[in-house]
Structure 1
Amino acid sequence: MAQQPTKLPIKIIAGADSYGCNLKDSLVSQLRSLNIEVVDLGTDKYYSIGEQIGRHVSQAANNNPNPAVETRGLVACGTGVGVAIFANKFPGVYAATCVNPDEARNARSINNCNVLAVSGMNTTPEVASDVLKAFLETPFKSPCPASGSNPWPDEIDQFLDNSVLEMKKIGALENGEKGESGGCNLCSLVKGREFKDVDIMPGGSISIVRESPTAAFVRFTAGSVEPAHHHTFGHDLVVLKGSKRVWNLSKGEKYDLGVGDYLFTPAGDVHRVKYFEDTEFFIKWEGQWDLLLDEDHAAANAAIDKEMEN
């Protein structure tokens, strides 16, 4: 039997890139007129807003088994496709791009969709309003266009329940849900390697696995700070564990990074880092490893404390 509509109040995490911001603003106004709580992350560049929405919804879905509020996401870009792809990188996130109300009803009924992605270039505010309404009002496993507006047969009803349970396991690297491969291949490579302290970075240690171009695994303990510094060569990094914030002082930008996130920092860009948890990441320099400090730890901590207060 199809379940009844959720009785939990809904909270929406919303955001858009520059191609979807006007449509997002219109839908946020609609949500607030319905007295639905909205956290509007505003406008960010391209894929990153999809990643931010995905992380927020994933954390809400996975960190609290008995929530008082159901957290969903709303994200808009030019097509609605790219942001949905990035949001879906997170466990417990089921993002769908919907261009009409029937697609939203199907996505909610069949996939328990919890992030609605919309197209700022191809969907009018009027149609998007109807899409949002269907997204809000359609319960999981309810009659929908795909079911001919009839209740799902018992065997399909059971399949839908099981599919959601299976989807929750995809991407999960914690609590023993690692599968036959043992989880992340990069994480497996770091096991057993010897880490050496980085003298000028308290709390940091490194295991270099290749030199010039350089590849390494790096660890920092929770609360550690990297003062503003730069490198002769650009570098790519992927976070394997924990979370951090990177301020690119040269560009006036900041990035919150968690497990699976990627960041490229160009050669010469001055950046400062704060670690919120014990964190590990894989990093690759385009040349040899070097690190040139642009401030001391006291100045870095003072700057970060001021930033966090604001």
Structure 2
Amino acid sequence: MVIAIGSDHAGYHLKEHVKRVLEAGGHEILDVGTETPESVDYPAFAEQAARLVGDGQAERAILACGSGVGVAIVANKVAGVRAVNAHDPSEVEMARRHNDANTVTLSGARLAPDQADAIVERFLRTTFEGGRHARRVGQISALDGSAVRDRVPG
């Protein structure tokens, strides 16, 4: 799977950990940064990773900042992205099954690496249920215009 990842300084160490685990699992990683734990502004990194998903260059994205909230807000501004700030595997599973979440955001300040591993693993293996949920995801996509864009060939 092609996965975009990004973080600010507060999520840097967790991003690097997740990146190593994903690479070991055979995933192709598109790391948009940051490359050090020095202070940076999270919107630029979150937007870059989210655009890779919205444009179809990545199947999913994983973002990290101090709380996971800031990067989630940014990612959800990008057409075609449905980001969830997940705190545990059950939460991300429901977001995948019912909301077709294609981006997960993580708290670098609150999650230990093993907790993040469990969330990411569930995020990647859970499929969207479709059915009645597809209608609702379509309604969400209509809000940002991605439903129309997704129907246009090319």
1:148-187 matched pairs, under 5 angstroms:
158-172=131-145
CA distance in 2, matches of 1:168, 1:88: 11
Equivalent in the alignment of 1:124 = 112
TM-score w.r.t. length of structure 2: 0.87
Whether contact under 8 Å (1:91, 1:169) holds in the other structure is no
Change (3 A) 1:35 1:159: same
Instruction: For 1:158 and 1:137, locate their aligned partners in 2 and report how far apart those are by CA, in whole Å.
Output: 19
The residue aligned with 1:302 is: none
Residues 160-219 of structure 1 deviation map (CA, whole Å, 9 limit, x = unaligned): 01012122211228969xxxxxxxxxxxxxxxxxxxxxxxxxxxxxxxxxxxxxxxxxxx
CA distance in 2, matches of 1:85, 1:102: 21
Q: What SS does the corresponding residue of 1:27 show, helix, strand or coil?
A: helix
> How far apart are the structure 2 equivalents of 1:174 and 1:134?
26
- Of 80, 89, 102 in structure 1, the residue corresponding to residue 68 of structure 2 is 80
Letter in 2 for 1:164: V
Does 2:35 match 1:24?
no
Q: Distance in 2 between matches of 1:85 and 1:53?
A: 13
SS of 2:41's partner is coil
SS at match of 1:89: coil
- Give 1 or 2: higher strand fraction: 1
Query: Which of 97, 113, 138 lines up with 1:109 in the alignment?
Result: 97
Amino acid at match of 1:55: R
Tell me which of 39, 48, 57 is aligned to 2:30: 39
Q: Which segments of 5 or more consecutive residues in structure 1 lack a partner in the other structure?
A: 1-9, 62-69, 142-156, 177-310
| Fraction of identical pairs, as percent | 33
Q: Is the 8 A contact 1:57 1:93 kept in 2?
A: yes
CA distance in 2, matches of 1:86, 1:140: 23
Which secondary structure does the structure 2 equivalent of 1:121 belong to? coil
Relative to the length of structure 1, the TM-score reads 0.44
Which is bigger in relative contact order (C-alpha 8 A, separation at least 6)? 2
Asked whether the 8 Å contact 1:92–1:167 carries over to 2, the reply is no
Compared CA separation, residues 175 and 106, structure 1 to 2 (3 A):
closer
Q: Matches of 2:92 and 2:19 in 1, distance apart?
A: 17
The count of residues paired between Structure 1 and Structure 2 equals 144
SS at match of 1:19: helix
Distance 2:147 2:96 in 1: 27
Could you say what the CA RMSD is over the residues aligned between the two structures, in angstroms? 2.0
1:135 to 119, 123, 132: 123
Cα shift at 1:11: 0.6
Question: For the structure 1 residues 95 and 173, does the alpha-carbon distance in structure 2 shift closer, same or farther, using more than 3 Å as the test?
Answer: closer
Summarize the alignment of residues 179-258 of structure 1 with structure 2, pairs less than 5 Å apart.
none
Separation (CA, whole Å) in 2 of partners of 1:48 and 1:118: 17
